[in-house]
Amino acid sequence: MPLFRIYSKIKKIAIEILTRASKVFDFRAVEVLVEERLRIDGDPNGRTIIYVGAKYDYEDKSRGLGYEHYQFYMALVKMGYKVIYFPYDQFKKEYGRKKMSLMLREAVYYWQPEILLYYHFADWVDLKVFQEISNDLPTKTIILLGDDGLRYEQTRPVWEFFNVVVTMDPNANEKRKKEGFKNAFLSQWGINHFLYKNLNLKRIYDVSFIGQCYGKRPFLIEELRKKGVNIVTFGHGWPGSGRILQSDMIKIYNQTKIVFNTYLSSKNTPRMNARDFEALSCSSLSVTEDIDEVKKFFVPGKEIITYKDLNDAAEKIKYYLSHEIKRQEIVKAGYKRVLKDHTYEKIFKKVFEFTQKIKK
């Protein structure tokens, strides 16, 4: 075979290999990826914030967009900031941890944001990148810790590099202050009221529960039904249901008179979840477990209804279904309280005001 034919054949094979490889590996330079892949939303003239968080629910596209995407990122966009979105779970899968970390570093140098806001899910970013941004650059860094009480020591190597640590756990916040970390900020869970709102839909469900079917939940639902509560369930694992889209969640809350809520325990310590805020933000009455934490957010009996056990829950659900005026009074008060104190717009403003006062 002539040499030129051998050369042409080798060239053709090499091109095919490179073409296939390019579909698996992105060989574009880091700065090109930053320029082409990062999404910019909100007010182009607003204060610049880089938001770093997971985009998908537990990194899984089939599970849909995650809580952080809907509640944090979308709230920041609506608040009028210039938001540069860095979905680090997505970039980690596409480019690997090393390249993803370099992309984040490049993005900070490129846009020079006033704030880098990071919701910690997993230790994927090279800590040297966070260290450099926090120590050497004008950008102020904030880390949000959602499960600080359980992972305080585990996440220490990460949060120690940030200018501000925001936690939802009072005990972890006090512990951090005792250790001499001055820029610790105690925050709370809330709701993106730009997304979860009263749509004035017809209330076709007396009682509903939205959430996966696992743990003690099937038993609780069945017991309520035995006690005469007509409760419908939505979510993965429930008969006749499946994964609920975000739009479906908002619609169901808006079509429900009373939302039943229960807290799953972590180390035998029940903690509030998002369901109370979601229900009240959509003008549904939340009937939830009686734990001390609820009282920090709402006034039981006036803004929310709490129950001691299932008998108490069933009695109160039946009572408020048959007393429309009293139910509406509590619904309006709960809705008003959510908008006053528990929106992520209000929460982020407090965090940013605190951050502005610190000196790097």
Task: Provide CATH code, domain 27-186.
Answer: 3.40.50.2300
pLDDT of res. 63:
87
pLDDT of res. 192:
97
Q: Give φ, ψ of 288 to 5 degrees.
A: -130, 165
Render pLDDT for 125-170 as a digit per residue (tens, 0 to 9). 999 999 999 999 999 999 999 889 889 999 999 999 999 999 999 9
Question: Could you tell me the residue ranges of all domains in the chain?
Answer: 27-186, 205-341
- Mean per-residue pLDDT over the chain, rounded: 92
DSSP codes joined into one string, 248-297 = HHHHHHHTEEEEE----EETTEE---THHHHHHHTT-EEEEE--HHHHHH
Q: Is the fold of 27-186 the same as that of 205-341?
A: yes
Residue 107, token pair as written in the block: 């993005």
Share of the chain above pLDDT 70, in %: 91
- The overall pTM is greater than 0.85: yes
CA separation for the pair 110, 289 (Å, rounded): 48
Range name among 20-29, 204-213, 254-263, 333-342 with the lowest pLDDT average: 20-29
Asked if 264 and 214 touch (Cβ cutoff 8 Å), the reply is: no
The single-letter code of the amino acid at 101 is S
Give the 3-state secondary structure of 255-267.
Answer: CEEEEECCCCEEC
Superfamily of domain 205-341: Glycogen Phosphorylase B; (3.40.50.2000)
Asked if 144 and 119 touch (Cβ cutoff 8 Å), the reply is: yes
